[in-house]
Amino acid sequence: MKAVLVFLAVVTTATAQQPPAPDQTLDRIVAVVGTRPILASQIDEEMVQQQAQGMTLPTDSAGLATLRRQILDRLVELEILVQHAERDTSIKVTDQEVLDQVEQTYQNVRKQFSSENDFRDQIRQARFGSVEEWRRWLGDQQRRQLLAQRLIEAQRQKGKLRPIPPTEAQMREFWDQNKDQQPKRPATVSFRQIVVKPAPDSAARLKAFQRAESLVVELRHGADFAAAAKRFSNDSASAAQGGELGWFRRGVMVKEFEDVAFRVRPGEITPPVETSFGFHIINVERTQPAEILARHILITPVVSEAQIAIAKRLADSLHGVLARGSAGVSFDSLAKLYGDPQEPKLAEDAALTEMPPEYQKVTSADTTLGLKPVITEGAGTPRTRFVVLEVTARHAAGDLSFDDVKLKIRQSLSDQLAIRHFIDQLRRQIYIDIRL
């Protein structure tokens, strides 16, 4: 939420530098979509947010006029989507969902100030009469964005928003307009890997299952789910939040988890669900079309030192087979047989600085291509695993070229063109009056 905080600061500066004259018109209607007006102040707010994000605004009147018209066009498009989503009874955005987002934003911004008075002063200087007025503004912005996003997503799921391939000229034009804003290409490596993950033995699996079953009994008899998650869950990321996973759709979690989570009723405590991570106890709190809000508790079987040693021997053995170049044995076939199915087998142009430290150490020490020594990741922790790594390509840091990002440009423009086509169809169904 740093952008919101910066937005407040920039608005404050702009207000301080440009006090309105006594006879100045404070606002005016610049467009009407359906029966709803779009105000000049909304364009001003968008320009301030662009400044907050580092954009330099034009200083000439023609450039400013062009920018204001571009912003107005985006506001009109958003209003078209919002009004269409509001008429679609399958598109839902709950009050609680909006309140949750507003509260999270409020907490993130509030903690940036040393005192309540400083925070309230900043809110007032940013043209909001009170904190509650600011929260209402945040709520309105959040609701509108969610409505538009869910309408677009619903069209995709119905197969009515199919990507439209851009032409080579369109991709070149996009590149020419945006290449100056492109970051430098970092040093990268491409590699393939076999990730060998130690497996718990049958006794450890049984013990974890029994522990999960006993927790299910306690929870179904009224024990607090959030408190139990904080105390017992082995998923450290969600345990701190009482097991909260947030809203999610299918395709985010592993299949075994989703098959159960999307089937149960809100408030129901599931029996232990086994995945490659361990045993999950799931509590679905709320549902809406294609989405659920859920918590979980993960009980992970303990992996013994003996099982870790077995995994290490397997990784060393696979490395030896590949190093000897045994006939009829390929890297891909070994990865399919012995690799952790939850881990990617290939990586293209992975930035060195974004790789795990153990990967960085091996790939930086030896800059040649080919098989590397077995990597031990998470040594001495319950998440110890072993990686057989083969580097297939390396690229030094430098400027990005059109060919480097051509695929990403094609994917991005295909989606944009599909959305543009959809909005153009909606335009024909609604009254629009531009007054700028």
Question: What's residue 382's pLDDT?
Answer: 72
CATH of domain 2-162+415-434: 1.10.4030.10
pLDDT at 203: 94
pLDDT (0 to 100) of residue 202: 92
Rg, C-alpha atoms of the chain? 27
* Closest C-alpha among 299, 236, 294 to residue 272: 299
Select 202-299's CATH number: 3.10.50.40, 3.40.47.10, 2.40.37.10, 3.50.50.60: 3.10.50.40
The answer to whether the predicted template modeling score (pTM) of the entire model surpasses 0.85 is no
Structure tokens at 361: 């150490």
Cβ neighbors of 392 (< 8 A, separation 6 or more) are: 190, 191, 192, 369
| Euclidean distance between CA atoms 29 and 42, whole angstroms | 10
Would you call 189 exposed, middle or buried from its count of C-beta atoms within 10 A (0-12, 13-18, 19+)?
buried
Sheet-wide strand order for 273-275? 244-248, 291-299, 278-288, 273-275
Q: Are the CB atoms for 298 and 273 separated by under 8 Å?
A: no
Report whether 295 contacts 244 (CB < 8 A): yes
Query: DSSP strand E in 268-384: where?
Result: 273-275, 278-288, 291-299, 346-351, 370-371, 375-377
Look at residues 213, 228, 240 and name the one whose alpha carbon lies nearest to residue 297: 228
What does CATH list as the number for 188-198+304-395?
Answer: 3.10.50.40
**Contact criterion met (CB below 8 Å) for 93 and 150:** yes
Every domain range in the chain assigned CATH 1.10.4030.10: 2-162+415-434
pLDDT digits (tens), the chain, 436 positions: 444 544 454 444 444 444 444 444 467 999 999 999 999 988 888 887 777 666 788 889 898 999 999 999 999 999 999 999 999 988 989 999 899 889 988 888 888 888 888 888 888 877 788 889 889 988 999 999 999 999 999 998 888 888 899 999 999 999 998 888 888 888 899 999 999 999 999 999 999 999 999 999 999 999 999 999 999 999 988 998 999 998 998 888 999 999 999 999 999 999 999 998 899 999 999 988 788 999 999 999 999 999 999 999 999 999 999 998 877 789 999 999 999 988 889 998 888 888 999 999 999 888 899 999 999 998 877 789 999 999 999 988 888 888 888 998 999 999 999 999 999 999 999 999 998 7
pLDDT of residue 4: 52
Task: Tell me the angle at which helices 61-87 and 402-427 cross, rounded to the nearest 10 degrees.
Answer: 60
Q: Where in the chain is the domain with CATH 3.10.50.40?
A: 188-198+304-395, 202-299
Q: Which pair of structure tokens corresponds to residue 209?
A: 């299952």
Q: Is 324 exposed, middle or buried (0-12, 13-18, 19+ CB in 10 A)?
A: exposed
Q: Any residues with CB less than 8 A from the CB of 168 and at least 6 apart, and which?
A: none
| Tokens 């013990």 -> residue | 207
Q: What pLDDT is recorded for position 52?
A: 61
Quote the pLDDT of residue 12. 45
